[in-house]
Amino acid sequence: MATRKQTAPAKTALRSSAPSKATKNLSKAPGKQTAGKAPSPSASATRTVKVAILGFGTVGSSVAAVLAAQRFAGVQLTHIFNRGVERKRSSLAAKAVPAEVVWTDRIDVVLRSDVDVVIELMGGLDPVEGWLRKALAAGKSVVTANKQLIAYRGASLARLAARHNVQLVYGAAVAGGVPVIPGILQGLGGDKVTRLSGIVNGTCNYILSRMESGAEYADVLADAQQLGYAEANPSADVDGLDARAKLCILSRIALHAELDPDAVATQTISSIEAVDFSYAKELNCTIRQVSRAQAEGAVVHARVAPMLVPLTSPIAWSHGTQNMVVVSGEFGGDVVFSGHGAGGHPTAVAVVSDLLAVAQGCRTVALPVRNRQVVGDFMAPHYLRFVVDDKPGIVSAIAGALAKVGVNIDSILQRPGYPKDRLPFVVTTEPCLTSTLEKAVRALAKLDCMLEPPLMLQVLVVDDKE
């Protein structure tokens, strides 16, 4: 696979230095200014941009710490909003916050203030969406890392921001500290991106890369929860909902396709077992939670699921909590973005970089986006793992069910050492539609010999393009 590997560039380097109309209100110097003209560099230098942080958790406190350490000229933190604000104000992290900052648990204090930029780091849709709509309507730009909000409401919020000549910027919403969003918008805006694939959930990558060494899912999940990588209820991560939101955001900016997140197919990683990695190794693959989207005319094929990934793919090289995204363009080929996608400080760097871009009046690339139908079907080889009470005729029954829907078997693998009354073995298929194979798998699951539902995974195909 021919790739252009792109190391993590500074976010501000990926944005145009031209001041935008949408941020002219942030750069007004005292005195007169000609209507309709962009502010001069000297005016920008004398205008202090006032900033409020909504949410003083891991990322919010890290943003405050970065601002305090860097002391960027012309940027001043003035407000911090959080529920139970006194507890946050007395925390160790609050020691980095300047004494003059206003702490409050009343959102109206922020919305009625002379704050220029609201940094939203609370997450979720309600009540955050309503607050940010009021902020934008009041002429305040918004910087956010809220992937659910941007996936479901991003297009509407962007229109609202444009109407009020302010900005909505969300470079930290995908892959945390890895500049995927500004990299695509600014660095790849001239290409025609046809495909996205990658790892955008560090929790799942941590779990699966640990299982690659022989650990079992339940044990690794418990470790991830103890380390703070996974929530007490890990569903958003392990069932693909977090990655699904991020894939929709990337599809909007790279494929110019607006997708309904609820229509994107997802598959949990909780069905993966250590034995699957043993079989994957025999196939020169590993297993990762892959988010992928591919444009074909007015349709976008999109899916978030554990997949077999060939060891020759860059996606197979990502371990621990790392994120990796491969962007495939018609003219520029493949570009790989990789790095630490989670954690307070990496995400804070992305947030502060967005803040600086807004404060300095930098443009973001705006390209037309259209609503697209989304389907989860892909033409790909597939991996089927069965656990059976072994008896004669099982392979014949599987072959017959696959033949009935027109699917050809590529290989059959059976590792020695397992008891016959609980035998795991694998069938791989030649390329076929996922929906076609699902029909056969539903029929096979009803066989008396099946001890658990068959596991079906797509095999990620690596294209060698020059």
Q: How far apart are CA 345 and CA 59, in angstroms?
A: 7
Asked whether 322 and 343 are in contact (CB, 8 A), the reply is no
* Residue 68, amino acid: A
Helix (H, G, I), strand (E, B) or coil at 21: helix
Count CB-CB contacts under 10 A for residue 300: 23
Residue 322 has which token pair? Answer: 């790392």
Q: Which of 50, 134, 246, 281 is catalytic?
A: 246
Q: In 360-429, which residue ranges form alpha helices assigned H by DSSP?
A: 394-404
Residue 74 has which token pair? Answer: 């012309």
The b-or-e profile of 332-350 (16+ CB within 10 A means b, else e) is: eebbbbbbbbbbbebbbbb
Residue 355 has which token pair? Answer: 């803040």
Q: How far apart are CA 165 and CA 326, in angstroms?
A: 33
Report the DSSP pairing between strands 362-363 and 16-19: antiparallel
* Residue 127, amino acid: P
Active site residue 246: yes
* Chain Cα centroid distance, residue 357: 21
Query: Among all residues, which ones are annotated catalytic?
Result: 246
